[in-house]
């Protein structure tokens, strides 16, 4: 029997179609072959991108020239514009505002042939530091309410350039999905005086059924009601509402993140994937109800009419099975 499962946080229902139980090999994922051609993110081509906002490079090495190990610059084709005011207006019953925001790109490595899964551990840590610094900086802009860090890897996941990179978008609003999680977390906290994410983590660590991996500071789980096969969440084990909390160390987070990505690569043949960092909005600050985390989804199934029309996902792989495949992946 297929099973209807409700996500305990936002209350989103999904369909786990158990009897179709797909194994990793059943997903034909177009392998990410590097196609070559001109790459604006490769060293030597710095002049083709907007000037860098920050970079990790040896002391004395001039900006916008080779020698960097990581580079952050504005997106050449931004989804939102950085200059101007919000211009909130009404038009009859409708509300609107200008498309103000920041859209930045983190080039994770100068090496065109590596990925976030295969760059050295120190480089993966640096990517997280770059996210941290940029989020902290963008927070100072009072027009912004939220900063979303996300990654599209592979064409099917929305990447237009194959050189590995992560994106950052600062928004004048809180995105709907984050708002849903936040409101639900607040309700749970009011009712139980506990963080719902902490409750989920405790239960998953205890049962081990959907546990993929843990290190000292973090845990990776297949959520109880995943929208897609191999959906994976990484959460700090100790309650922490903001990704940008002070006294941060990123070595353990980099380790678990790279491990999950290598497990994807191993069992799903280097699939296209997306990830997002969900953190407490600026306005909520440090709090007891929200728990920041990373959500990762390999792009194995297509969003079709039913999902689009209902917000209701059909998932052919139960999370207990995907967690088992991930645990057993030899990396
Ligand atoms: Zn490149
Ligand atoms: Zn928590």
Asked whether the predicted pLDDT for residue 89 surpasses 70, the reply is yes
- What is the average per-residue pLDDT within 169-182? 92
Cα of 73 from ligand 1 centre, angstroms? 15
- What is the average per-residue pLDDT within 147-162? 90
Q: Residue 284: CB partners within 8 Å, gap ≥ 6?
A: 182, 241, 290
The DSSP code sequence of 118-153 is TS-HHHHHHHHHHHHHHHHHHTT-TT-SEEEEEEEE
**Of 76-85, 195-204, 316-325, which gets the smallest average pLDDT?**
76-85
DSSP SS3 for 83: coil
Cα of 138 from ligand 2 centre, angstroms? 25
Q: What element of type H or E holds 254?
A: helix 251-268
Asked whether the predicted pLDDT for residue 155 surpasses 90, the reply is no
On whether the CB atoms of residues 210 and 204 are closer than 8 A, the answer is yes
Widest Cα–Cα separation across the chain: 64
- What is the average per-residue pLDDT within 108-131? 97
- What is the average per-residue pLDDT within 97-117? 94
Asked whether the predicted pLDDT for residue 31 surpasses 60, the reply is no
Q: What is the structure's pLDDT at 212? A: 98
Q: Which ligand is nearest to the CA of 49?
A: 1
Band of residue 331 on the pLDDT scale cut at 50, 70, 90: confident
Cα of 88 from ligand 1 centre, angstroms? 40
- State pTM to two decimals: 0.93
On whether the CB atoms of residues 158 and 126 are closer than 8 A, the answer is no
Question: What whole-number percentage of the chain has pLDDT above 90?
Answer: 70
Band of residue 164 on the pLDDT scale cut at 50, 70, 90: very high
Q: What is the structure's pLDDT at 21? A: 63
On whether the CB atoms of residues 227 and 5 are closer than 8 A, the answer is no
Q: Which of 103, 163, 165, 291 is catalytic?
A: 165
Q: For the CA atoms of the chain, what is the radius of gyration?
A: 20
Band of residue 329 on the pLDDT scale cut at 50, 70, 90: very high
Band of residue 227 on the pLDDT scale cut at 50, 70, 90: very high
- What is the average per-residue pLDDT within 262-274? 95
Active site residue 165: yes
Chain mean pLDDT for the chain: 91
- What is the average per-residue pLDDT within 216-238? 97
**Of 7-21, 74-88, 144-158, 291-305, which gets the smallest average pLDDT?**
7-21
């Amino acid at each position: 029997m297929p099973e209807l499962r409700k996500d305990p946080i936002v209350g989103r229902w999904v369909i786990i179609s158990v009897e179709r139980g797909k194994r990793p090999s059943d997903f034909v994922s177009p392998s990410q072959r590097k196609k070559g051609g001109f790459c604006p993110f490769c060293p030597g081509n710095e002049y083709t991108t907007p000037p860098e906002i920050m970079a990790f490079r040896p002391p004395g090495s001039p900006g916008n020239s080779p020698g960097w190990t990581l580079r952050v610059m504005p997106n050449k084709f931004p989804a939102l514009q950085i200059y101007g005011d919000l211009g909130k207006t009404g038009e009859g019953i409708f509300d609107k505002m200008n498309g103000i925001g920041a859209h930045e790109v983190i080039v994770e490595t100068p090496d065109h042939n590596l990925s976030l899964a295969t760059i050295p551990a120190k480089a993966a840590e640096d990517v997280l530091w770059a996210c941290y610094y940029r989020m902290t900086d963008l927070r100072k802009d009072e027009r912004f309410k939220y900063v979303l860090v996300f990654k599209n890897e592979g064409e099917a996941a929305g990447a237009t350039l194959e050189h590995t990179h992560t994106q950052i978008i600062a928004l004048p609003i809180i995105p709907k999905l984050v708002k849903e999680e936040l409101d639900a977390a607040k309700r749970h906290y009011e009712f139980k005086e506990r963080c719902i994410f902490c409750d989920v983590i405790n239960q998953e660590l205890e049962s081990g059924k959907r546990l993929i991996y843990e290190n000292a500071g973090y845990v990776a789980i297949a959520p109880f009601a995943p929208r897609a096969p191999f959906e994976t969440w990484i959460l700090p084990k100790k309650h922490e509402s903001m990704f940008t909390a002070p006294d941060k160390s990123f070595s353990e987070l980099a380790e678990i993140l790279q491990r999950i990505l290598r497990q994807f690569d191993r069992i799903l043949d280097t699939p296209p994937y997306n990830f997002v960092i969900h953190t407490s909005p600026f306005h909520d600050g440090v709090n007891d109800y929200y728990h920041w985390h990373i959500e990762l989804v390999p792009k194995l199934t297509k969003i079709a009419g039913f999902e689009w029309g209902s917000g209701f996902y059909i998932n052919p792989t139960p999370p207990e099975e995907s967690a088992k495949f991930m645990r057993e992946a030899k990396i």
